Chains A and B, each alone.
Chain A
Amino acid sequence: MSTATETIEGLVKQDYKYGFYTDVETDSAPPGLSEETIRLISRRKNEPEWLTDWRLKAFRHWQTMQEPHWAKVHHEKINYQDIVYYSAPGKKGDRPKSLEDVDPKLLETYEKLGIPLRERERLAGVAVDAVFDSVSVGTTFKKQLAEKGIIFCAFSEAVQEHPDLVRKYLGMVVPYTDNFFATLNSAVFTDGSFCYIPKGVRCPMELSTYFRINAANTGQFERTLIVADEGSHVSYLEGCTAPMRDENQLHAAVVELIALDNAQIKYSTVQNWYPGDENGRGGIYNFVTKRGLCRGSNSKISWTQVETGSAITWKYPSCILQGDNSIGEFYSVAVVNNYQQADTGTKMVHIGKNTRSTIVSKGISAGHGQNSYRGLVKVQKSATGARNFSQCDSMLIGSKCSAHTFPYIEVKNSSASVEHEASTSKIGEDQIFYCNQRGLATQDAVNLIVNGFCKEVFKELPMEFAVEAQKLLGVSLEGSVG
């Protein structure tokens, strides 16, 4: 039996394909964090004074905070003074004005990653904003989007061109005092994406941001802000990779979503940051705050995430269901292998009447991986008729990994209905033998079984992303029939 187990463990090991490093000139700040660093970032980006002040307030608050350790993850102490907080490709000065100004090496990098950055690849039908280290390097399809009044651009550009919108919504969902990593981000965030969908507009294409950490010793602190005005609709994709390095790198992003009356936001992530090697050396610390506010009535925010990368994932995409009849959804697949650790889940906070939330979480643990689901369903007194359904399933591959579930439920309204289902299963040698006996090789069998386990989540992903997600798990195309 043990040989069969070893085979399974061998098969789930896959080499990290995106571990290359692009040699481009960079303009970096010296390592370390001080008010001076923050002023430097703000100056480099030619920011208005209110934003510099906001950053400084965040920094001063951050200095009073302690790094949190409640998550079920273990890591060496992070020395925040060793991190480079600003690194931009290219010489000192402005960000590229158009795709023509972008270093061809960068474009090559994105091509290697399969990201269609150039407009001529419009067939892909996805508008991409690419963030390389700390700076956004180019946004495609800008013109077509502008015709509908949609703003989709780098965050730093939005600060220059749409300061009122940014000022109105920045920090509305994740205030600068929110938590240690979000506060750090508020102080030092360098770029990210900004998106505004005007009233009644249905965004005609998927919007996408691709994040890439390239330079060594660099932290990536991007900030994404998406505002869907009344009756609008947008689907947004986020992908991430990083080169292989022996040391750990910090990624502390903040994503804020705001949906007004009758608006819908669908946010999908395929996270494939470098997970470290098979001995647990190196990899990204992915400490991210993602939160959506269903501010208006009948609004809907749906998170779908496929988390396969990072040494440590610490992430809880959440929904505040403020508007009456608003809907929050969270669909997640989290895979850990080797020495990866994931502590991920969601928070659904029901405030409005008849608010509904759905949580489907699939955790897969292999190698020495440690996978925790942590979720909070909170029904406030005002949330008459609130409903929640949660389902948390864990799959174990091999015998050295672990899975944990920490569901928290707080209900203050007696008319609410909250359901929680959980299961843990081990990928069965029986299942694999059954597939073998029908002619399928063991690798194909594992892929098939894992893919079947994740099906409920994959079907929530936009088509092109579902394919990428399946490939990421090394899976052949399931469900093409029937």
Chain B
Amino acid sequence: MSKPILEIKNLSAGVGDKQILKGISLTISPGEVHAIMGPNGSGKSTLAAVLAGRAGYEVTGGEVIYDGKNLLDLNPEERARAGVFLAFQYPVEIPGVNSTYFLKAALNEIRKSKGQPELDAMEFLNLVKDKIKLLELNEDLLRRSVNEGYSGGEKKRNEIFQMAVLEPRLAILDETDSGLDIDALRIVAGGVNKLKRPDSAQMVITHYQRLLNFIIPDFVHVLYDGRIVKSGDKQLALELEAKGYDWITKAA
């Protein structure tokens, strides 16, 4: 068996005095897709934020090993350069900053950290033109400012487009399905599926089973009150859809 990409061991974290994650353990190996489901307030987005290194969250216990390294020792940009990618639930607008320039700067930071040569503008544009088709996005988007004036659907698709360009080892999709209509959902999920590689992994965070009709997970974990209360395969997601979260949360 290959070495895991991510090992979360008994992770506890919170904001201020409030404990949100209360001992999470999870191992993700190359080629796997893990779905994290759970009711609102169960700690799904906190888990994503802690893994990406967002300021304001305090880790109070446990550890996270990423590619054999202590992930929690790295600052957010070091994590990103090491291949941890977070598709934001609410992508952030950066007015006046050209999307292409932004993404090129990001890719070149990642390449630099791997000791690869930086791409020049032409090389980058060629790369991008292939990837943008994957998400059925208009090339015009590349000339606009980062996320500024994008529709909700465009923002989410743009996140996956960035993921396509940056080719992360661990992609964390935080409620990427929220606010998408069924067509957009199909495009986004299709993009994510095409980006699956044997040497990388995906963590898909969602409230609804709907997304998992398109992105087929190898494992489904139910998060409740800061703990993983049940794990299973994709059948578990269907059961949740049918019976609701009460079925599990009452047992927990």
* Residues of A that sit less than 8 Å from B by CB: 1, 3-4, 428-431, 433-442, 444, 448-449, 451-456, 476, 478-482
Contact = CB atoms under 8 A, between A and B. Distances in A.
A451 B100 contact: no
A115 B85 CA distance: 45
Given A4-B56, A440-B105, A452 B95 contact: yes
B110 A480 contact: no
Contacts of A430: 92
Nearest to B96: A452
A434 B88 contact: yes
A438 B75 CA distance: 12
Contact of B98 (A3, A431, A440, A481): A481
A436 B96 contact: no
B102 A433 contact: no
Contact of B97 (A433, A437, A452): A452
B121 A431 contact: no
A456 B96 contact: yes
Contact of B55 (A4, A451, A455): A4
A72 to B, nearest CB: 26
Contact of B77 (A439, A449, A481): A439
Contacts of A449: 94, 97
17 contacts: A1-B56, A435-B102, A437-B76, A438-B162, A439-B77, A439-B80, A441-B77, A442-B77, A448-B102, A448-B105, A453-B95, A455-B97, A478-B101, A481-B100, A481-B121, A482-B99, A482-B100
B217 to A, nearest CB: 23
Nearest to B80: A439
Contacts of B79: 437
Given A438-B80, A448-B94, A478-B98, 18 more contacts: A1-B55, A429-B55, A431-B93, A433-B76, A434-B92, A437-B77, A437-B79, A439-B80, A439-B106, A440-B106, A442-B77, A452-B96, A455-B96, A481-B98, A481-B100, A481-B125, A482-B99, A482-B142
Contacts of A435: 94, 102
Contacts of A479: 98, 101
A482 B100 CA distance: 7
Given A436-B75, A439-B77, A451 B105 contact: no
Contact of B105 (A431, A434, A437, A444): A444
B54 A439 contact: no
Contacts of B179: none
A448 B107 CA distance: 15
Nearest to B162: A438
Nearest to A455: B96
A195 B209 CA distance: 73
A458 B241 CA distance: 53
Contacts, number: 100
Interface in B73-123: 75-77, 79-81, 85-86, 88, 91-107, 109-110, 113, 121
A165 B166 CA distance: 62
B3 to A, nearest CB: 24
B98 A439 contact: no
B33 interface: no
Interface residues of B, number: 43
B106 A481 contact: no
B161 to A, nearest CB: 12
Contacts of B53: 436-437
Most buried by B among A431, A439, A482: A439
Contacts of A480: 101, 121
Given A440-B106, A444-B105, A433 B55 contact: yes
A444 B105 CA distance: 10
A93 B92 CA distance: 62
Contacts of A440: 77, 105-106, 109
Nearest to B103: A438
Contacts of A434: 88, 91-92, 94
B143 interface: yes
Interface string B42-82: 00000000001111100000000000000000011101110
B145 interface: yes
B200 to A, nearest CB: 16
B245 interface: no
B219 interface: no
B55 A452 contact: no
B81 A431 contact: no
Contact of A439 (B109, B121, B146): B109
B100 to A, nearest CB: 4
A434 B54 CA distance: 9
A442 B54 CA distance: 13
B214 interface: no
A436 B77 contact: yes
B93 to A, nearest CB: 8
B75 A482 contact: no
Nearest to A436: B76
A450 to B, nearest CB: 9
Contacts of A436: 53, 75-77, 80
A451 B98 CA distance: 11
A15 B96 CA distance: 26
A3 B162 contact: no
B208 interface: no
A444 to B, nearest CB: 7
Contacts of B91: 434
Nearest to B93: A431
Contacts of A437: 52-53, 76-77, 79-80, 85-86, 88
Contacts of A456: 96
Nearest to A5: B55
A451 B121 CA distance: 19
A454 B121 contact: no
A341 B120 CA distance: 41
